[in-house]
Amino acid sequence: MEHVRLLIAGSGPAGYTAAIYASRANLHPVLIDGLLQGGQLTQTTMVENYPGFPDGRMGYDLMADMRTQAERLGADMRFGQVVKADLSTRPFRVTLDDATEMKADAIIIATGASARYLGLADEQKYAGAGVSACATCDGFFYRGKDVAVVGGGDTAAEEALYLSGLAEKVYLIVRRNELRASQVMRERLLKKENITILYEHETVSLTGEGKLEHAILRNKATGALETIDISGFFLAIGHTPNTVAFPQVETDEQGYIKVASPTQATNIPGVFAAGDVCDPLYRQAVNAAASGCRAALDAERFLAR
C-alpha cells in the first residue's frame, strides 16, 4: 500500500493552491482530482473577479494554469476520486474509486460543494450559456438584461438583490406562496422596483437558439403555462458539500465541514479542509485559494511536529 506524507482530495482553486504551497514546502503532495478535475470553475466562461487577470480569464484555462503550476513545483496529480477514508487509524487510509488503497500522514479535503439543480435537461443544455449557480460569479455578464433567480430563501434573496444592481429586471421564481427568507431580506426585496416575485411558480423548461432566451413556468395556482423572456437563469436552491467519503469529520447542520478558525483544521488532528466544502457563505475562487494556502501551511506545521 502506497504511503504518502500529504494527500489532497479534490482539485479546484483550493486543492491546486494547497498543492502549490505543499510542494514548495517539500511535502511531496499527492492530489486526487475528485468529481470534476479543476472544480466548478471549469464549467464557467469568463472569470473577471480573480486578481491578476485585468482582461479576465476563461475558467477552464485558469484552472489549467493552476494545475500546471502545481505540477511544475512537484505535486503528483492523479485522476480519480476518494470514495472512503478511515480516519480512526494513523496513518490515515483512503480508498479510491478504482479500489486503490493509500496511506497518508495528513489529508486536506478540498472536495468542494455541488450546486443543487432542478433536474431539468435544459439546465445542462444552457450551462455556461445562460444557466448559472453563482450570481456573484456570472452576474456581470447580464448587465442591462432580464434574468431570473430560482429559490425562496435568504440565498435566493441575496442573489436577486445582487443582480438587481446589474440587470434591467429580475424575476424571483418561488414555488411556495411565501418566501422562506428572513424578514429583513423580504423587506429589501420589496423595496427593489426592478425585482418581480413570482409566487407559486415552478420552471417547466428553458428554451433558446444556442443560448438561453426564455423560461416556461407553470402557475401552480391555476395550472397555466407562462413564458418569461430572460437571458440568465440563476439557481439559488442550495449546495451539497461533497463529504460522503469523510463521515468522521465534524460538519455543521448544512453538511459543511467545521474548521477551527483561523486555521483550516478539522476535529481530527492531521485532517484539514479547504474551499467550498467548508464555506457555506462566500463560495468564491479567491477565497477557496486562500483557504487552500492556509490548509497547506497548517499541514506543514502538523507534519513538522
The one catalytic residue in 33, 122, 137, 278 is 137
Please report which confidence band the pLDDT of residue 43 belongs to, taking 50, 70 and 90 as the band edges.
low
Look at the pTM and tell me if it is higher than 0.85: no
Report the C-alpha gap between 153 and 156 in whole angstroms: 5
pLDDT at 158: 86
pLDDT at 209: 94
Q: Is 231 helix (H, G, I), strand (E, B) or coil?
A: coil
| Residue 290 in this model has a pLDDT that exceeds 80 | yes
The fraction of the chain above a pLDDT of 90, given in percent, is 79
| Residue 276 in this model has a pLDDT that exceeds 70 | yes
| Residue 180 in this model has a pLDDT that exceeds 70 | yes
Task: Please give the residue that has the higher pLDDT: either 181 or 151.
Answer: 151
pLDDT at 281: 86
Please report which confidence band the pLDDT of residue 256 belongs to, taking 50, 70 and 90 as the band edges.
very high
pLDDT at 138: 87
Please report which confidence band the pLDDT of residue 41 belongs to, taking 50, 70 and 90 as the band edges.
confident
Instruction: Reply yes or no: is the peptide bond before residue 91 cis, omega within 30 of 0.
Output: yes
Write the DSSP symbol of residue 127: B
Per-residue burial over 37-71, b = 16 or more CB atoms within 10 Å of its CB, e = otherwise? bbbbbbbbbbbeebeeeeeebebeebbbebbeebb
Across 86-101, average pLDDT: 96
* pLDDT tens, position by position, 50-74: 999 999 898 889 999 999 999 999 9
List Cβ<8 Å contacts ≥24 apart for 259-263: 262/294, 263/294, 263/298
C-alpha cell at 302: 502538523
Name the β-bridge partners of 232: 147
Report the C-alpha gap between 24 and 184 in whole angstroms: 47
Q: Check if 138 is active-site.
A: yes
Q: Check if 276 is active-site.
A: no
Strand segments, DSSP code E, in the chain are 2-9, 30-32, 46-47, 57-58, 76-78, 82-86, 92-96, 101-109, 113-115, 131-132, 146-150, 169-173, 195-198, 201-207, 214-219, 225-229, 232-235, 239-241, 271-273
| Residue 298 in this model has a pLDDT that exceeds 90 | yes
The one catalytic residue in 55, 97, 122, 134 is 134
Amino acid making up residue 25: A
- 268 closest CA partner among 87, 95, 91: 87
The one catalytic residue in 138, 276, 279, 298 is 138
Q: Check if 137 is active-site.
A: yes
